Amino acid sequence: MATTSDPAARSSLAQTLRVQGLPVAVVLLLIFVSWYGLAIALNAQGAIERDLADTAWTWKDLVAASWSMERPVLPAPHQVLLDLWESLTGWPVNSPRNLLFHTFVTAQSTLLGFAMGTVLGLVLSVCIVHSRTLDKALLPWIVASQSVPVLAIAPIVLVILGSMGLAGVAPKAVIAMYLCFFPVTVAMVQGLRSPQVIETEMMHTYAANRWQALWMLRLPASLPFLFPALRVGVAAGLVGAMVAELPTGAQAGLGARLLTGSYYGQTVKIWSALVMSALLGLVLTAAMAALERIVLRHRRQA
Amino acid sequence: MSPPGRPKGEYRSAQQDTSPASLDRSVRLHPNGHATMALVLVSLALAAALLFSPLATPEAPVGPLFWLLTVALAVLAVVGIRRLAAMETRRIYSSLTAALLGIWILYFWQLLVVANDVPRVLLPAPWLILQSLLDNIGTLGNDFVQTVAKAVVVGWLLGCSLGFMVAIAIDRLPFLQRGLLPIASLTSAIPLVGVAPIAVMWFGFEWHSKAAVVVLMTFFPMLVSTLAGLQASNRLERELMHSYAASYTRTLWSLRLPSATPFMFAALKVNASLALIGAIVAEFFGSPTSGLGFRISVEATRMNMTLVWAAVVVAAVTGSLAYTLLSRLERRVAFWHPSVRGSK
């Protein structure tokens, strides 16, 4: 809504920035300040014991030491940013020391699984809407699965696919796929059913067959339901891909990076992997939001 | 209303696709209701006979007779489910249809896995999973206490109440709300479970670290939903409270919190499953020697898949039970709300 091309909308964007930008900036500043404060509080003891043990130190030294420890309890934001910067610029992109490499590995399996899960969810929802049997027999199970921690079967999927000789991207993509598939199916069934009775009756009076009604009425009507589900799905798929990277011997990917960091107690590395995965999640969700805006743009003008 | 020459039944079915919820109670029972029930029962009996026959043992080679019978049973199953689904008078038939599909899937899983002698590592038969569940009930009970009774319940309660309290606290500070809300909504896109290794470092291997992850994961959805719910009362209602000279607390207590209950329950339900996921995944990162996530990851590396499946069953049952309990509670608490009355 905020980024359509007409000037009225653009001024409303400026207003949103004015109304929201300042509060968000203040909250972010508060978070940073309390992060630095917390870093002093949590690291002080270790800093006194290890870095300042045999010197006469003042408060200034303590603060400086607790913000620059090698293995802090809580690294200060600039340490994390510095580590990120070094990892991104100090090594070639295809080196396992570069976080971009791991991000790429995770993003690849997330997107592959997301695409498969979305297609599967779309096909299944179309089938459910057109078949009373599937609607009555299958849909309750798909809805119920929303309350079940389906991520728990990730190790099972890994073992099964592993014993079938599949390794690398495929198992991770499968796990991301089934996590994306549930929300997309549920939302699309809802969306495909959203047309009013009067609209379906009109298709009926035009003697439209089921496919025409699906293509011209139901699918367009379901798009507002689809995109929120895509955002949920891509975020769930990212979690799935990262969890799938845990037991695979921890070679590549952000999840593996988190695990190796926790094995070797490299706190700063864990935090930079976390920041990277948060950024990846935000980028993927933002991409979905952008896609939504592009696809639904014409609808608003009409 | 229906076009001339078009059978009435066909027109109805075209309409039904749009609004399956509006079941027309005046329609009489499917003429062959009893026949359908009989068909379902007979096919289930035949299925049981095949399952216990010598044809369906790992020793017997899987011959054409077995496949013929299996395919025949599958056809029977599909016909039964289709007929049951076509009956539309009572609600019980809907749940019966879903239950029947579940039974058939479990049945064919059992039949095909046993008859084809599928290795247990690949896919254990449901019966074996149940056996393993019963054999290891003590271990799994311990895991349940460790993961659910400690980490999930404590984390969920803490996270939800923290989210609720922060929402109430910043309700009167629109500046802070405008600043916090966009950030809180963005966290849904972030894989928050990733903090698990840090939580383990800070709070140790015991359940406290898992509870901390759960608190973090449940806090933001509750905060966002409560804030949205507090805005849900409409202007007319708020003006009425104003004209009664109701104080802020009175308005909050008598109007805005009650109208926020559906939003809060939605968050509580979402959080219940998020909390389970969080605790289980956090245990993948390091845990003491018990817990559902620990059991799943350790037994999976040992290729003891029946126990893994049993632990997954425990987690799944816990998740759906929590959801059911919360829905019941919602009906009790918010019985007056249109969203609850409408769903009944």
Q: How many domains does chain B have?
A: 2
Q: Is B44 domain-assigned?
A: yes
Is pTM beyond 0.80 here? yes
Residues A173 and A234 placed together within one structural domain of the fold = yes
Residue that is last in its domain, among B118, B142, B168: B118
Contacts of B280 in chain A (CB under 8 A): 149, 151-152
Instruction: Give the ipTM of the model, two decimals please.
Output: 0.83
Residues B70 and B178 placed together within one structural domain of the fold = no
- Residue type, position A146, single letter: Q
Residues A295 and A147 placed together within one structural domain of the fold = yes
Over residues B101-114, the mean pLDDT reads 88
Residues A142 and A200 placed together within one structural domain of the fold = yes
Q: Please answer yes or no on whether B191 and A238 come within 8 Å at the CB atom.
A: yes
pLDDT of residue A190 exceeding 50, the answer is yes
Residues A29 and A140 placed together within one structural domain of the fold = no
Residues A129 and A63 placed together within one structural domain of the fold = no
Q: Is B278 domain-assigned?
A: yes
pLDDT digits (tens, 9 = 90+) for A57-90: 777 777 777 787 777 888 888 888 888 888 888 7
- The answer, for A229 touching chain B at a CB cutoff of 8 Å, is no
Dist. CA B127–CA B110, nearest whole Å? 7
Residues A132 and A239 placed together within one structural domain of the fold = yes
Q: What is the band of A210 on the pLDDT scale with cuts at 50, 70, 90? A: confident
Q: What is the dihedral of CA A67, A73, A76, A82, to 10 degrees?
A: 100
Residues A244 and A150 placed together within one structural domain of the fold = yes
CATH number at A253 reads 1.10.3720.10
Which run of H or of E encompasses B183?
helix B174-186
- pLDDT number for residue B163: 95
DSSP assignments along A231-251, one per residue: HHHHHHHHHHHHHHTTTTTS-
Residues A67 and A111 placed together within one structural domain of the fold = no
Q: Is B221 domain-assigned?
A: yes
Residues B63 and B212 placed together within one structural domain of the fold = no
DSSP assignments along B68-123, one per residue: HHHHHHHHHHHHHHHHHHH--S-HHHHHHHHHHHHHHHHHHHHHHHHHTT--TTT-
Q: Give me the domain span that covers residue A30.
A: 7-74
> In chain A, pLDDT over 70 holds for what percent of residues?
91
CB contact residues (below 8 A), chain B span 231-270, against chain A = 269
- The answer, for A165 touching chain B at a CB cutoff of 8 Å, is no
Over residues B316-334, the mean pLDDT reads 91
- pLDDT number for residue B28: 46
Q: Is A94 domain-assigned?
A: no
Residues A293 and A177 placed together within one structural domain of the fold = yes
Q: Please answer yes or no on whether A23 and B94 come within 8 Å at the CB atom.
A: no
Residue that is last in its domain, among B118, B149, B174: B118
Q: Give me the domain span that covers residue B61.
A: 28-118
Which run of H or of E encompasses A21?
none
CATH number at B271 reads 1.10.3720.10
Q: What is the band of B342 on the pLDDT scale with cuts at 50, 70, 90? A: low
- pLDDT number for residue B212: 93
Closest CA in chain A for residue B202: A73
- pLDDT number for residue B31: 52
Contacts of B11 in chain A (CB under 8 A): 204
Residues 6+ apart with CB under 8 A from B73: B43, B46, B47, B50
pLDDT of residue A245 exceeding 60, the answer is yes
Residues B138 and B102 placed together within one structural domain of the fold = no
Rounded to the nearest 10 degrees, what angle do helices A219-244 and A99-130 cross at? Answer: 140
Q: Is A264 exposed, middle or buried (0-12, 13-18, 19+ CB in 10 A)?
A: exposed
CB A117 within 8 A of CB A176: yes
Residues A128 and A211 placed together within one structural domain of the fold = yes
Q: Nearest CA of chain B to the CA of A122: how many Å?
A: 17
Name the residue among A97, A72, A95 with its Cα closest to residue A84: A97
Residues A213 and A164 placed together within one structural domain of the fold = yes
Q: How many domains does chain A have?
A: 2
